[in-house]
């Protein structure tokens, strides 16, 4: 039986599990393509040894990678020329937004599109899985592919868009067990993409056009961003009023059709902090008439404010204990944006640390999963992080932090202050031990 050859470009949180799942399908042969940069080139060797470079808790991924590498259906290279042998190409590269004007930065997407176009052969299916602003596939990617290949999309090669819905900690589960949305440039492109995803997706696959699929992804995440912003503003209101927002959330959600989200120290990850802006950009660039996105833009600003709000809480707590910020040592617990993950993309810890350092504080960061965090001194030794600290600021609700022994923590610290950004520490227990406790949404 002739093998179906697939290339997956970008060995990150989307590309790795997608490639491994496809490589486990009988008759599929998958090559991952990863640029050999100083920051991520090491992934090539790790994956080719049958190991996962993702250090957080990812059920099933380690065993899956080991299995497909052992059977020879998956390998990783930095050689783009292998694309000429491929019948299907998945593009899974990062699409960040600029911090100043929130416009998308498509450097990686454009470069990969150029490289794909150089080696593209007739009849190949190209699928964009990266999240992009509505209108990007047909107005940015398609022209590059056509220009570089000299071929016509929909006639000589096929083009589709199918966005990822993954989340660290559930990468395999979410690819397999969430409905899939597929948009094609024409019927043939759509049909080919649907047939591919049927091999790995167990839930319903919805077909639509590319623009609708792109808009669906950005609106889906804007919806969640708005709901988190509401929870965050309610947390600040509750704290000001002297009540507990988490108790209030439970009371609200006791009605089955209500679902108030969890507030916290900030929103991170590759999707939520940028997808609202991608939706806005697509509207302004390709929409039929001028329109401003006031509601979702406000939600973005609220969520971006939360690390600064937490920094203000730290400063207030230190002042109550008569500790000057410029003489304080702050232990920041958790630099990954999501619990039990090593993913630091757009983590709120960035903003919190920058804010505290700008006021003269010494920062030591701890995370049990993250190996590299250039923005601060990082340790995996929790005792070392807490030793001599004047404040313990909990940013990420890693499993390990729920198991902290507060009497021991107090002995390690110089000043017993806890600022809890994720409702991890039991307030009553902390105060009983002798801590000054402040938590987002936890009024006195």
Active-site residues: which are they? 217, 271
Residue 226 · residue 270 · CB < 8 Å: no
Which one, of 261, 249, 356, lies nearest residue 302 by Cα? 261
H-type alpha helices, 321-436: 348-358, 382-386, 399-402, 406-412, 427-433
- At 336, list the tokens: 């990954």
CA–chain centroid gap for 302, Å, is 19
d(CA 120, CA 118): 6
Phi, psi of 282 (to 5 degrees): -60, -40
Q: Are strands 158-161 and 180-184 parallel, antiparallel or unpaired?
A: antiparallel
- At 86, list the tokens: 């491929």
Cα end-to-end distance, the chain, whole Å: 69
d(CA 31, CA 126): 14
d(CA 12, CA 47): 11
Which one, of 21, 19, 25, lies nearest residue 7 by Cα? 19
Phi, psi of 159 (to 5 degrees): -135, 130
CA–chain centroid gap for 147, Å, is 32
d(CA 92, CA 112): 10
Give the neighbor-by-neighbor strand order of the sheet with 180-184: 74-77, 28-33, 4-9, 88-91, 125-128, 158-161, 180-184, 205-209
Q: Which helix (H) or strand (E) holds 313?
A: helix 294-320
Length of the chain: 444
d(CA 418, CA 410): 10
């Amino acid at each position: 039986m002739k093998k179906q050859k697939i290339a997956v470009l970008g060995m990150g949180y989307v590309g790795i599990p997608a490639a491994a799942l496809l490589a486990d399908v009988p008759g599929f042969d998958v090559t991952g393509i990863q640029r050999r940069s100083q920051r991520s080139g090491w992934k090539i060797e790790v994956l080719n040894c049958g190991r996962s470079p993702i250090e957080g808790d990812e059920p099933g991924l380690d065993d899956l990678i080991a299995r497909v590498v052992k059977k020879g259906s998956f390998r990783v290279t930095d050689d783009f020329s292998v694309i000429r042998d491929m019948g299907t190409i998945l593009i899974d590269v990062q699409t960040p937004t600029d911090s100043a004007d929130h416009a998308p930065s498509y450097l990686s997407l454009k470069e990969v599109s150029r490289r794909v176009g150089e080696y593209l052969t007739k009849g190949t299916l190209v699928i964009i899985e990266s999240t992009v602003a509505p209108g990007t596939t047909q107005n940015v990617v398609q022209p590059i592919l056509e220009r570089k290949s000299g071929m016509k999309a929909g006639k000589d090669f096929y083009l589709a868009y199918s966005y990822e819905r993954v989340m660290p900690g559930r990468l395999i589960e979410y690819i397999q067990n969430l409905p899939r949305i597929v948009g094609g440039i024409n019927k043939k492109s759509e049909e080919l993409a649907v047939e591919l995803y049927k091999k790995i997706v167990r839930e319903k696959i919805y077909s639509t056009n590319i623009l609708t699929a792109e808009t669906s992804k950005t609106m889906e995440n804007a919806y969640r961003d708005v709901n988190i912003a509401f929870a965050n503003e309610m947390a600040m209101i509750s704290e000001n009023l002297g009540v507990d927002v988490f108790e209030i959330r439970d009371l609200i959600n006791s009605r089955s059709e209500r679902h108030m989200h969890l507030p916290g120290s900030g929103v991170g990850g590759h999707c939520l902090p940028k997808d609202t802006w991608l939706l806005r950009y697509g509207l302004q660039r390709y929409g039929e008439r001028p329109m401003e996105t006031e509601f979702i833009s406000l939600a973005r600003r609220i969520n971006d404010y939360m690390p600064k709000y937490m920094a203000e809480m730290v400063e207030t707590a230190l002042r109550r204990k008569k500790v000057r910020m410029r003489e304080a040592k702050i232990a920041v617990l958790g630099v990954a944006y999501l619990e039990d993950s090593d993913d630091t993309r757009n983590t709120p810890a960035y903003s919190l640390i920058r804010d505290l350092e700008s006021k003269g504080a010494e920062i030591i960061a701890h995370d049990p999963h993250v190996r590299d965090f250039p923005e601060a001194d990082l340790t995996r030794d929790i005792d070392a992080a807490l030793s001599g600290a004047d404040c313990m600021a909990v940013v990420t609700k890693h499993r390990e932090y729920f198991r902290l022994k507060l009497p021991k923590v107090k002995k390690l610290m110089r000043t017993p202050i806890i600022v809890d950004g994720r409702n991890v520490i039991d307030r009553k227990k902390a105060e009983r031990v002798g801590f000054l406790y402040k938590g987002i949404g936890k009024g006195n």
